[in-house]
Every structure is written in C-alpha cells, then in structure tokens.
Amino acid sequence: MMTLYSGTTCPFSHRCRIVLFEKGMDFQIVDVDMYNKPEDLAVMNPYNRVPVLVERDLILYEANIINEYIDDRFPHPQLMPADPVMRARARLFLHRFEQELYAHVEAIERGSQKNADKARVIIRDNLSTIAPVFGRQKFMLGDEFSMLDVAIAPLLWRLDYYDVQMPKQTVPLMKYAERLFSRQAFIEALTPSEKVMRK
C-alpha cells in the first residue's frame, strides 16, 4: 500500500491527496505537523519537506514527481495526456505553475509584509492572464480533467486565505475553480484545516 506523508495545510501535499482520491485506490495518509516534523521525514527527504510518498522500497518527494508516478502506476483515470507532445506541454505548464505561482506562496506564508504583498500581486497577475481561457473551455486542457487542474486547484482554494484579491475580469477563472471544488475527489482530499480556509 502507498503511504503519503502529507502536511495538513500544505498545498503541495494537497495536490497529491487529490490524485490519490481521483484514482480511488487503497492508500494511507500520515498527517505531518509542519511545526513538529517527525525525525524520519529528514531521512526520507533530504529537504525535510512534505509531501513524501512511500511504496515498499520506493521513496519519492516533490509533488509533480509523486503525482506522475501515481498516474503511471494507476492509469485510470489518466491525468497526464497520453500523446507525447501534449504530455511535454503539460509538463511545461506544471513547471510554469511552480515558477510563476507556487514559488510565491512561501513569501505569503512566511515572508515580511512587503514581500507577502508583492507575492500576492504576482499571483493575482499571473492568474489573471490565464482567466480568459476558461470562458472557452471547461478545464485546463479542454473538456478532460487533468494533472494541470490538480496542480492549480489547491492554490485557487487558498486565494481568500492568502488574501489574493482577484479582479472582476477573472470571473471565468472563479467559475472554473468552483467546478474543481465540486469534484468528489477534491472534497475528500481536504483536511479539516483546509476546509476552514474558505468561508
């Protein structure tokens, strides 16, 4: 059985939980207190961070790597595109999410007021540029829910909590977010601490 070491408020862990629930397979989640990490976490992950996936002799860390492994091991429903070109494009998008969105989360969660405000503006502006896409399509890659939707969902869930004020023209993005939040796997993947992030 797979075991996921997961932070109860960690957006990266949240992604992995969504994928596990989307696959509907047997797994175990070990909640990790980020302020009192178990000693074996540093043994499993040299960066001493969650998420960490353990399956027999395999230990993986970094959300995108974990999620691609789960998708390869349990191909139904497939979350990464089957076509190599589309798959490469999806990976590029995932990389961009890390650089343009998630790289700024740390500043909001732990940075100075000035750095946090700057990070909020960057996230708002980057999300605003992709908002028009959802006036034309249901999910990131069209009609099919994919790993890109998994990757962005935890951030969209935390916008109010992070005090990121989205402008009126991002209504299509907010409607898209509600579609993601209504998925059964998304609801099941939420921890009690994450549920209270949105009113």
pLDDT the model gives residue 168: 95
pLDDT the model gives residue 52: 98
pLDDT the model gives residue 65: 97
Find the DSSP H helices in 24-83. 39-44, 63-73
* Residues of the chain with confidence (pLDDT) below 50: none
Domains (range + CATH), the chain: 2-77 (3.40.30.10), 84-183 (1.20.1050.10)
Beta bridge partners of 28: 3
The tokens describing 183, both together, are: 């998925």
pLDDT the model gives residue 136: 94
